[in-house]
Chain A
Amino acid sequence: AQSVTQLGSHVSVSEGALVLLRCNYSSSVPPYLFWYVQYPNQGLQLLLKYTSAATLVKGINGFEAEFKKSETSFHLTKPSAHMSDAAEYFCAVSLHLNAGNMLTFGGGTRLMVKP
């Protein structure tokens, strides 16, 4: 079985401040991990994914995440928050089905950016 925990359902930062969104996973096999972003009234959009090629993964819009096996974590960071980063962020772990790909999502973290 696999699961994802996102610590903090709401995170508030000031514009220009560091963004840190936490994700811890549980998986019985080597995990593949994803971060998705959801803007208001829109579907989910892939930010980045860990596929075991490199532990530090760079994504779109200046975000990056580091896979730490010893800590079972995949935290999302951005050095300087922008107002346009305000959205909900989901961490997910992938289970390869017979011929598909099932994502197990965390509960999400809503990021608020203050001017």
Chain B
Amino acid sequence: NAGVTQTPKFRILKIGQSMTLQCTQDMNHNYMYWYRQDPGMGLKLIYYSVGAGITDKGEVPNGYNVSRSTTEDFPLRLELAAPSQTSVYFCASSTRTSGATDTQYFGPGTRLTVL
């Protein structure tokens, strides 16, 4: 099982550039999430999606956009990269069984540096 896959693994951007972080899951999960992890900090939720065509903001959405056209894919877009967006980005997915106790499955992460 591939689970949750993310590409690229590493990326260096210049200030003002844009890019899309890709996330794909093959578990037929309804829910998908994007988190960022800053050094020494826990993960913070950027955006989440409860199904194709439905997305919502998390705790730190500014500077990012998402779309969900299929169940499998949940790309994260950075339009104007800023140094504050230097972080490790994790995608996760879960299926609805009991709601708040659902287990989220994480991808390996994308390490992004903005210079």
CA A23 to CA B58, docked complex, whole Å: 23
**For residues 85 through 102 of chain B, which have their beta carbon under 8 Å from a beta carbon of chain A?**
90, 92, 94, 96, 98-102
Do A90 and B43 touch (CB < 8 A)? yes
Assess the A103–B103 pair: CB atoms within 8 A. Answer: no
Q: At the interface, yes or no: A95 with Cβ under 8 Å from chain B?
A: yes
- What distance in Å separates the Cβ of B91 from its nearest Cβ neighbour in chain A? 8
Interface set, chain A 63-79, CB cutoff 8 A to B: none
User: Which parts of A87-115 form the interface with B (CB within 8 Å)?
Assistant: 90, 92, 94-108
In contact, B101 and A100 (Cβ under 8 angstroms): no
A112: shortest Cβ distance to chain B, in Å? 15
Chain B residues within 8 Å of A44, by CB: 43, 90, 92, 106
- Residue A45 interfacial (CB < 8 Å): yes
Residue numbers of B with Cβ under 8 A of A are 4, 31, 33, 40-45, 48, 50, 56, 58-59, 90, 92, 94, 96, 98-109
With A42-B109, A51-B101, A101-B31 already in contact, 9 other A-B pairs whose C-beta atoms are closer than 8 Å: A36-B106, A43-B109, A49-B101, A49-B103, A94-B101, A100-B50, A103-B43, A105-B42, A107-B41
Residues in chain A within 8 A of chain B (CB atoms)? 4, 9, 32, 34, 36, 41-46, 49, 51, 90, 92, 94-108
List 15 interface pairs A-B (beta carbons < 8 Å), by A numbering.
A32-B100, A43-B108, A46-B105, A49-B103, A96-B99, A99-B50, A101-B100, A101-B101, A102-B45, A102-B59, A104-B42, A107-B40, A107-B41, A107-B42, A108-B41
